[in-house]
Amino acid sequence: MKLTVWTYEAPPHVGAMRIATAMEGVHYVLHAPQGDTYADLLFTMIERRDQRPPVTYTTFQARDLGADTAEIFKEAAREAYERFEPDLMLVGASCTAELIQDDPGGLARALNLPIPVVPLELPSYQRKENWGAAETFLQLVRALARPRTAPRAEGEAPSCNILGPTALGFRHRDDLDEIHRLLVRMGLRVNVVAPLGARAHDIARLGEADFNVVLYPEIAGSAARHLERACRQPFTKTVPIGVNATREFIAEIGALAGIDVSDVLAEGAGRLPWWSRSVDSNYLTGKRVFVFGDATHAIAAARVAAEELCFEVVGLGTYSRELAREVREAAGRLGLEALITDDHLEVEDAIAAAAPELVLGTQMERHIAKRLGIACAVISAPVHVQDFPARYSPQMGFEGANVLFDTFVHPLVMGLEEHLLSMFRDDFEFNDAAVPSHLASEHAAPRREAAPATPPAEPIVVAPPAAASTETDASASPAWTAEAEKELLKIPFFVRGKARRNTERFAHERGVASITLETIYDAKAHFSR
Amino acid sequence: MNRHVIVDGARRPVSAGCADVPAPADARATERSGPVVRTERGQREVFCGLTGIIWMHRKIQDAFFLIVGSRTCAHLMQSAAGVMIFAEPRFATAIIEERDLAGLADANEELDACVERLLARRPDIKMLFLVGSCPSEVIKLDLSRASQRLSARFLPDVRVLSYSGSGIETTFTQGEDACLASLVPSLPRAEPAARELLVVGALADVVEDQFARIFEALGIPARFLPMRRANALPAVGEGTCLLLAQPFLADTARALEDRGAQPLCAPFPLGIEGTTAWLKAAADAFDVDPDLFARVVAPMEARGRAAVARDRARLEGKRIFFFPDSQLEVPIARFLHRELGMELVEIGTPYLHARHMAEELALLPDGVAIVEGQHVDRQLDRCRAAAPDITVCGLGLANPLEAEGLATKWSIELLFTPIHGYDQAADLSGLFVRPLLRRAKLKV
């Protein structure tokens, strides 16, 4: 048993729901106890869908346990067929129904429905949401897709499928739009988009394309590998998130389709490159950033952060165990060891230890960062309702890169603003007691003690109690001379704490008992290297 | 359908209620046929009892709720609890894994280890509920034995109890019922001569405080269950008068009655009329002077009624349809019908406890349709055909129905908003005004 409050992923049958809900004319009959219908509201509330997910639950209760539940399943499947008239039905069990061992596949077969019925085996006690989505998509493709019979006609444009976008996917709607447009601009014909918006007969003609574009390897990876074997379709390995990855993606498509892509590459790469070169971005250099999310988005965000914004990536991790190898490789390229875990407490510890200035993560990291007082941007599911925005906001392609620049930088700008505001709050002109300057001459109200010529008289920081003892105490912080303390106040407040810590550490390591003006600058020279 | 609306309690039509319901105390005539109750079976679009933890853990401030379940249970709690999950909530899930399914002995050891780790991390916890789920029930993991075993180990610091919040046994608010029923055996025995009122059902603290002040003014010694602290268990005995504040507490009431508590019959304290009748039941049981009663409640009644009256213009004549969710549907429908003049199309409820609901049913108009249980697709068909002005339903149905052009009020808010008592009656009616007002004002 594993003690859990937060889970990054839902159980695998929710992954199957994401596929069913993404498609058209598909109905999922799920053998599940009363209460499992809670998953509907992920789609109707978080993604704000205007229709119920196409899922019928058997919602059996304790009094039904025994021979009855199989009959309940058959009746639910029969009724769902008659009511919704789907082109295809998925059948399966949730975690509890897995234990009672009715066989949804066999029961559905016995009904002899005149449509394809795809049974799903989703081991709820071993696997999770993304695996469930990938497996469901794979089973659909395996059941329906066939290799094309005739080769592409002479003169016809090369074609591809776009695989991966689902319901409840982080920015899937706009990523699809962005990449679809890019592919068309390159002169390609998009044969089928799946699962989002596809019907059963679309899955059946997947084999007619020349190759596959895999947007989200977590979801479409196994189906793409199956199609590579069964239909001899190669598939893309680059996920086009970030300017460089998008350019590589375009080149990869060019190679797969045998087309010239230099035009498209020459058109430019959106605004990120210039925004990042403009002098205003100088202060982004070397900002320490911690990245955590699903494998695809974490790898991509780390690359954008390092190459395209000049951040220093100080941590990289994922909850996607299926793609742990890829994340380890990406971390290795950055000189890091990847954090592979689905325990949010471990992630919190790692973030605290790395002490980043920016966290790029999921909804969970947003809250961790909030608690630790660190800036944060969301780059990956799981996300709340605000990350299914009304406005166009892809992560992929060149417009996606524009979105990423704004998203990553915005919380930092905000952070700087906040620092400046609180710095000015202590300033002699902007403090609460100061009267408006245009009134100062006629208004005799006493101004604050601090004279404009010297920094505001900050209370001298009392050394921690341990240090108050004697100089022989080795663990004690070194004492500050009055002169050094005064010098410290000249350092801008938002780096003052760091300067104080560094100086004390420096003095402590060298056994300096009393910090003088010289010690401050010795320490500064030492740490700036 | 009977469409007359009479708000004044003194002139209300009286009834023998449904055939299987004992007549309320003041029934005088039998010309009424009462509501039409029928049951329905099929897919139920409802929460399971685990969701009760979300308000119960806020109420009992030093209790922790450990669900023994699957990833689905943890994900349900996460989805239902929203941002609360980030505030170190006092609940968690021990997720059953593949290896726990191999053998039961192992599962018990694993559970003990989870509890040990948890209590070491949270020394402030005084009461621990092991909460059963569908998977733990199906694999027959005996949580009551586990709770005894763990209690023996951790008492007197921590009392360990167990109940089931599984979907196969409980619907939404029944989780609170199961939780409170599990507490009953722990309650100290009251002296037989000690006359005390026990108000049962979790209420928002602000509401509980209002009621406590009223009972004090009436001279009624009152205690509340659930209590706010684990060590403040109310006593129960033959002198205890049991007054339910919530309609979904069948098992708790039975367990308290088994320990001698005397049940009081009353409508539930929703709306002005309901609150007065509910307080009156307690006042009568404690022989409170009618003049004192009138002096205490009259100003609050007047204030509440004036506030509710402002919403009447917006809701009068509007037709409302309830999907089943919490068992609060019947008393809320009674309030909306009698005090705001709404017309009741259909009242869905997950369960209808005949005895506890008798006073409510007597206040409903003839022929109104009450549906116990659910076949969600058929109910949706009926709802669309009826095209009500407002539909009360869960979040899985609300947006799809809005997209079809129906105004909805999502029902879970009725559990998380203080709605009981005089000063919350207008907040309750306000919840139904807002969606209609918004639809009227939106220009896109």
pLDDT at A422: 65
pTM, whole model, 2 decimals?
0.87
Phi and psi, residue A247, nearest 5°: -65, -40
Task: Assess whether pLDDT exceeds 70 at residue B152.
Answer: yes
Domains of chain B: 4-46+307-442 (3.40.50.1980), 49-170 (3.40.50.1980), 196-293 (3.40.50.1980)
Distance (Å, rounded) from C-alpha B35 to C-alpha A306?
Answer: 69
Q: Name the band, by pLDDT with cuts 50, 70 and 90, for residue A269.
A: confident
Task: Assess whether pLDDT exceeds 60 at residue B53.
Answer: yes
Q: Do residue A35 and residue B71 have CB atoms under 8 angstroms apart? A: no
DSSP secondary structure string for all residues of A221-268:
HHHHHHHHHHH---B-----BSHHHHHHHHHHHHHHHT---HHHHHT-
ipTM for this model: 0.90
Considering the candidates A280, A294, A349, A427, report the single residue annotated as catalytic: A280
Task: Report the residue from B68, B76, B98 with minimal CB separation from A125.
Answer: B98
Residue matched to tokens 């009663």: B293
CA distance B76 to chain A (A): 7
Which residue did the predictor score with more confidence, A284 or A162? A162
Range list of β-strands (E), B333-433 = 343-349, 369-373, 390-393, 408-410
pLDDT at A18: 98
Query: What is the per-residue pLDDT across B281-336, written as a single tens digit (0 to 9) for each?
Result: 999 999 999 999 999 999 999 999 999 999 999 999 999 999 999 999 999 999 99
Above pLDDT 70, what percent of chain B?
A: 93
Which residue did the predictor score with more confidence, A527 or A97? A97
Which residue did the predictor score with more confidence, B105 or A371? A371
SS3 for B217?
helix
| Residues B134/B175, Cβ–Cβ less than 8 Å | no
Residue of A nearest to B173 (CA): A35
Task: Assess whether pLDDT exceeds 80 at residue A399.
Answer: yes
Task: Report the residue from B74, B76, B168 with minimal CB separation from A62.
Answer: B168
Lowest mean pLDDT among A156-165, A275-284, B132-141, B158-167: A275-284
Task: Assess whether pLDDT exceeds 80 at residue B15.
Answer: no
Which residue did the predictor score with more confidence, A344 or A447? A344
Over residues A457-486, mean pLDDT = 57
| Residues A120/A89, Cβ–Cβ less than 8 Å | no
A92: which 2 tokens? 């399966």
Mean pLDDT score of chain A, rounded to an integer? 89
Q: Do residue B95 and residue A96 have CB atoms under 8 angstroms apart? A: no
Task: Assess whether pLDDT exceeds 80 at residue B33.
Answer: yes
Query: What is the per-residue pLDDT across B71-117, written as a single tens digit (0 to 9) for each?
Result: 999 999 998 887 777 778 899 999 999 888 877 668 899 999 999 99
Whether A10 and chain B come into contact, CB under 8 Å, resolves to yes
Task: Report the residue from A5, A33, A38 with minimal CB separation from B79.
Answer: A38
Whether A60 and chain B come into contact, CB under 8 Å, resolves to yes
Mean pLDDT score of chain B, rounded to an integer? 91
Residue of B nearest to A8 (CA): B75
**Crossing angle for the helix pair B425-441 and B329-340, to the nearest 10 degrees:** 80
pLDDT at B372: 97
Over residues B356-368, mean pLDDT = 96
CA distance A420 to chain B (A): 29
Instruction: Report which of A138, A350, A133, A121 is spatially closest to residue A225, judged by C-alpha positions.
Output: A138
**Crossing angle for the helix pair A172-185 and A397-425, to the nearest 10 degrees:** 130
Task: Assess whether pLDDT exceeds 90 at residue B441.
Answer: yes
pLDDT at A438: 56
Q: Which of residues 20-39 of A touch B (CB under 8 A)?
A: 33-39
Instruction: Report which of A238, A182, A170 is spatially closest to residue A395, judged by C-alpha positions.
Output: A170
Q: Name the band, by pLDDT with cuts 50, 70 and 90, for residue B21.
A: very low
CA distance B195 to chain A (A): 39
Residue of A nearest to B48 (CA): A35
B401-410 contacts, C-beta under 8 A, 24 or more apart: B402/A50, B403/A50, B403/A51, B407/B435, B407/B436, B407/B439, B408/B435, B409/B434, B409/B435
What are the helix (H) ranges across A87-171?
95-100, 104-111, 129-144
Query: What is the per-residue pLDDT across B193-236, written as a single tens digit (0 to 9) for each?
Result: 899 999 999 999 999 999 999 999 999 999 999 999 999 999 99
Which residue did the predictor score with more confidence, A501 or A247? A247
Type of residue at B71: R
Whether B401 and chain A come into contact, CB under 8 Å, resolves to no
Task: Report the residue from B70, B114, B137 with minimal CB separation from A95.
Answer: B70
pLDDT at A470: 39
* Residue to substitute from A34, A57, A131, interface B, most B β-carbons within 10 A: A34
Distance (Å, rounded) from C-alpha A212 to C-alpha A205?
Answer: 13
Query: What is the per-residue pLDDT across A403-445, written as a single tens digit (0 to 9) for each?
Result: 999 999 999 876 667 667 666 666 555 555 555 555 544 444 4
pLDDT at B85: 73
CA distance A419 to chain B (A): 26
Distance (Å, rounded) from C-alpha B418 to C-alpha B59?
Answer: 13
Q: Is A432 considered catalytic here?
A: no
